[in-house]
């Protein structure tokens, strides 16, 4: 939640929100959501333009206090003016971005999205039902690790220098077997299929799948996990086996599967990814509240100001 008075806190929350959007937008279940998302990005770009101009002005206003590490005021003031000029140039470049986003938003607004089989046909299709008395083993993917930033750069450098197999060797080091699986199951961090975007690259080895994107700067590793029939949720009236296995975490009847989990080795350097299957999780063993992308400092501010639930 923005403070509207603390630029440091609000910039941190904005960065977290954009990072969350980058992962959530890897897959759109409903194309009708494209237009409002583009509209929000357009508004965000305009706000960013204003912010850059204000940052540039702040560097100029406070240049009398600028010094370098050796205490030289002239050098510090020179760097403040240089920073202001670069920030102003960045804001000017955003004008073109805003224009392109506006044109894209207008084009998207003219699209009428239809269901693949037609709206009426899609509504009348019967739900998939499976015989709950003949449940077999269910195969799901548990998340071993999700890295970004410097941690991901290390793996991406290995892949670029030594090949994909070397990258897989590095990533499998984050797998602690039962501990990793238990953490994923406890937090509902399991996928029907490992999530991947259009620009992501994939590499398989045995039960592992690595998904990486050098441009976005992230690397993820998933391991296939077999859920025995004895560990699956008991059948309920009106629910098929597939629906039981995909029920969100925290629902009645036992644990569920939904999002990618983290192994012990990756927990310190990675954050969990939002599920593309629109499942939800309760507060897990990590002790986080709300979104996995919520910043700890922002959460504390919410509690202190009485803004949290």
List the beta strands (DSSP E) in 61-170.
138-148
Highest mean pLDDT among 23-32, 74-83, 127-136, 279-288: 74-83
Question: Is 18 in contact with 24 (CB distance < 8 Å)?
Answer: no
According to the model, what pLDDT value does residue 233 have? 52
Taking the CA of residue 108 as centre, how many other CA atoms within 13 Å lie in the half-sphere pointing to its CB? 16
Question: Is 175 in contact with 144 (CB distance < 8 Å)?
Answer: yes
**Given pLDDT bands bounded at 50, 70 and 90, which one contains residue 68?**
very high
Tokens describing residue 178: 């039962």
Taking the CA of residue 181 as centre, how many other CA atoms within 13 Å lie in the half-sphere pointing to its CB? 10
Per the model's pLDDT, the better-predicted residue between 203 and 2 turns out to be 203
- What's the mean pLDDT when you consider all of the chain? 73
Model pLDDT for residues 18-51, shown as the tens digit of each residue:
888 888 888 888 888 898 899 889 889 989 999 9
Weakest mean pLDDT among 17-21, 159-163, 211-215, 302-306: 302-306
Which region, left, alpha or beta, applies to residue 64 given φ > 0 means left and ψ of -120 to 50 means alpha? alpha
Burial of 98 (0-12, 13-18, 19+ CB in 10 A): middle
Q: For 37, which DSSP code?
A: H
Helices (runs of H) and strands (runs of E) counted in the chain? 10, 5
CA torsion 162-164-166-168 (nearest 10°) is: 160
Question: Is residue 307's pLDDT more than 80?
Answer: no
Model pLDDT for residues 104-163, shown as the tens digit of each residue:
988 988 888 887 655 444 444 455 444 444 455 667 888 898 898 899 999 999 999 999
Model pLDDT for residues 224-252, shown as the tens digit of each residue:
888 765 555 555 444 443 443 434 333 33
Question: Is 285 in contact with 163 (CB distance < 8 Å)?
Answer: no
According to the model, what pLDDT value does residue 294 have? 43
0.75 exceeded by pTM: no
Residue 90 CB contacts under 8 Å (≥ 6 apart), including other chains: 52
Q: Whole-angstrom Cα distance, residue 267 to residue 186?
A: 15
Question: Is 277 in contact with 190 (CB distance < 8 Å)?
Answer: no
Residue with tokens 């991901």: 152
């Amino acid at each position: 939640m923005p403070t509207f008075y603390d630029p440091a806190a609000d910039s941190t929350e904005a960065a977290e929100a954009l990072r969350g959007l980058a992962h959530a937008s890897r897959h759109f279940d409903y194309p009708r959501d494209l237009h409002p998302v583009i509209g929000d990005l357009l508004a965000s770009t305009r706000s960013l333009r204003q912010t850059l101009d204000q940052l540039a002005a702040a560097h100029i206003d406070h240049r009398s206090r600028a010094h370098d590490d050796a205490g030289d005021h002239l050098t510090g003031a020179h760097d403040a003016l240089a920073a202001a000029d670069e920030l102003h140039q960045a804001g000017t470049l955003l004008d073109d971005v805003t224009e392109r986003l506006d044109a894209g938003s207008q084009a998207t607004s003219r699209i009428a999205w239809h269901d693949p089989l037609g709206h009426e046909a899609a509504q009348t299709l019967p739900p998939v039902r499976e015989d709950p008395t003949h449940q077999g083993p269910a195969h799901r993917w548990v998340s071993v690790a999700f890295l970004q930033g410097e941690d991901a750069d290390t793996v991406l450098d290995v892949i670029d220098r030594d090949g994909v197999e070397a990258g897989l060797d590095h990533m499998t080091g984050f797998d602690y077997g039962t501990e990793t699986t238990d953490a994923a199951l406890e937090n509902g961090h399991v996928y029907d299929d490992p999530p991947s975007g259009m620009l992501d690259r994939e590499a398989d080895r045995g039960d592992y799948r690595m998904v990486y994107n050098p441009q976005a700067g992230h690397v993820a590793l998933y391991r296939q996990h077999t859920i025995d029939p004895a560990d699956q949720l008991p059948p309920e009236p009106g629910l098929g086996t597939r629906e039981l296995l995909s029920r969100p975490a925290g629902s009645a009847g036992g644990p569920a599967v939904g999002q990618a989990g983290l192994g012990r080795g990756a927990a310190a350097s990675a954050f969990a990814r939002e599920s593309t299957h629109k499942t939800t999780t309760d507060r897990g063993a990590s002790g986080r509240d709300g979104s996995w992308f919520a910043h700890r400092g922002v959460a504390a501010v919410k509690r202190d100001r009485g803004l949290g639930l």
